[in-house]
Structure 1
Amino acid sequence: MRHAVTTPGIGDPAGFRLGDCATQRNLSPAGRADAAAIGAAFRRHAVPVGHVLASRWCRCVDTAELAFGRVEPAPMVDSIWQEDAAVADRKTAAVRQYVAAYRAPGNLVLVTHDVNVRALTGTSLSQGEMVVARARTDGSLEVVGTLGVPRRP
């Protein structure tokens, strides 16, 4: 899943520091509402949620917390935007390995960034959208479909 809608802009402001939300591009009020609506849709449709891992960027942690009420920050899903190719490849491989080995009850939810989703699935997402995928034994992901942000009435 890509994090919910943020304040306008591309990337993080100059002086960005991981762990300091005041230095980052964060969820907008609409993004906070969308994240809550995503969680409500999961509950309404009785979608079982297992582990919820998120990039340590505040917008991802906040999306996960608002949607699912819990989150485990996971460096392997931190943004690979502007990462050296070897680092990006290592992070992507770590996610593939984790997904292939996942056996806990409920669906694994990863809240991350568009660039990471593209590296894993070849699918580009808007903010708040998600890819539904099935893990193959080789660690690759079979894309089953995509879901958009549930719209409020």
Structure 2
Amino acid sequence: MNLGPVQIAPTFSNAFMLSEQRAALTDGARSLIAAWRGPGTLLVVTHGSNIQALIGRNPASGETVVVTMRGDGNLHELGSLLVPTARQ
């Protein structure tokens, strides 16, 4: 995939487990995404509860959600990619 350096951002900690910090985690995630200026595309790997807080829906396990930042600071879902289920 030719990814750049991986960075761990505490703002993407599990918002379900840290429910008392959910608003702060979500605000931090929005700020981090809004501040991204590249190079390249920002890839965030996080928990479903964080994605739920950011876009208003809980993705399936392993689902990739593609978003863009709107001028009002909210994320807008452009589309998603589901991981095919394994068949035996």
TM-score after normalising by structure 1: 0.50
What is the rounded CA distance, in whole Å, between the counterparts of 2:42 and 2:4 in structure 1? Answer: 14
Question: Aligned residue for 1:81?
Answer: 16
Structure showing the higher helix proportion among its residues: 1
Q: Name the residue aligned to 1:119.
A: 53
By relative contact order (CA 8 Å, sep 6+), the higher-ranking structure is 1
Over 3 Å counting, the alpha-carbon distance change for 1:105 and 1:150 in structure 2 is: farther
Which of the numbers 73, 78, 82 marks the counterpart of 1:144? Answer: 78
- Residues 99 and 139, structure 1, Cα contact 8 Å, conserved in 2: no
Amino acid at match of 1:78: S
Distance change (3 Å), C-alpha of 1:69 and 1:106 = closer
- Could you list the runs of 4 or more consecutive aligned residues of structure 1 that deviate by over 4 angstroms after TM superposition? none
CA contact (8 A) 1:96 1:139 kept: yes
1:76–1:150 CA distance, 2 compared to 1 (3 A)? same
Q: Which residue of 1 aligns with 2:38?
A: 104
Cα deviation per residue 1:13-60 (whole Å; 9 max; x = unaligned)?
Answer: xxxxxxxxxxxxxxxxxxxxxxxxxx5xxx7xxxxxxxxxxxxxxxxx
Contact kept? 1:133, 1:145, Cα under 8 Å: yes
Aligned pairs for 1:30-49 within 5 A:
39=1
1:94 maps to a residue whose letter is: G
Report sequence identity in percent.
36
* Larger Rg belongs to: 1
Contact 1:121–1:143 (CA under 8 A) maintained in structure 2: yes
2-structure distance, mates of 1:131, 1:145: 6
Match of 2:6 in 1: 71
In 2, distance between residues paired with 1:97 and 1:69?
20
Whole-angstrom distance in 2 between the partners of 1:71 and 1:126: 23
The count of residues paired between Structure 1 and Structure 2 equals 86
Q: CA RMSD in A?
A: 2.3
Using the TM superposition, give the Cα deviation of residue 98 of structure 1 relative to its aligned residue in structure 2, in angstroms: 1.3
Unaligned runs of 5+ in 1: 1-38, 44-67
Match of 2:28 in 1: 94
> SS in structure 2 opposite 1:132?
strand
